[in-house]
Amino acid sequence: MAVGETDDRNQFPRWIGIPLLVLFLPIVLLFLIAYLLFGLLLHVAVWAAWLPRGKSILIVTSDSPIWTQYMADRVVSVLQHKAIVLNWSQRSQWPGFPSVQVMLFRYFGRGREFNPLVVVFRPLRLARVFRFWKPFNHYKHGSPDALERLTEEAIRYSLG
């Protein structure tokens, strides 16, 4: 093979890309619409079932030695009167058919940096999510500033 030439056997034919895009774009759009509708239904469920009972916060934590005491003292104790608390370490005891709080956790946690997590709901507004994993990682390495800022922001927003 001469210099500058490419091996055509290993290249994906470019003309296939457009038909594949046309084929898969409607499917992707359907999944996106279904995902957004599910999120809207979860919001409506919280507005209808939780808010009238005075509950507007979902707190997810675990039995990690890094944050258990901090979350209990600084977050849960302040917000518990308005919160539903899920313990990730006890997930094997969660109901078999997901409850609203488990569905909320799965929707807002989205599999990344989901623990600890605070989700705050307000009437007719999208939920606000506070992810504590990264600030706790900084805290573990001697830098508590981000954790303190996020804690204050989450509590101020939750009680405001």
What is the extent of the structural domain holding 31? 14-159
Q: Look-up: residue for tokens 């405001």?
A: 160
Does residue 6 lie in a domain region?
A: no
Does residue 19 lie in a domain region?
A: yes
Does residue 106 lie in a domain region?
A: yes
Does residue 75 lie in a domain region?
A: yes
Number of domains forming the structure of the chain: 1
| Domain of residue 52, CATH code | 3.40.30
Does residue 7 lie in a domain region?
A: no
- Best CA proximity match to 130, nearest among 145, 115, 140, 111: 115
Per-residue pLDDT of the chain (160 residues; tens, 9 = 90+): 556 555 556 676 777 777 877 888 889 999 999 999 999 999 999 999 999 999 999 999 999 999 999 999 999 999 999 999 999 999 999 877 889 999 999 999 987 889 999 999 999 999 999 999 999 999 999 999 999 999 999 999 999 8
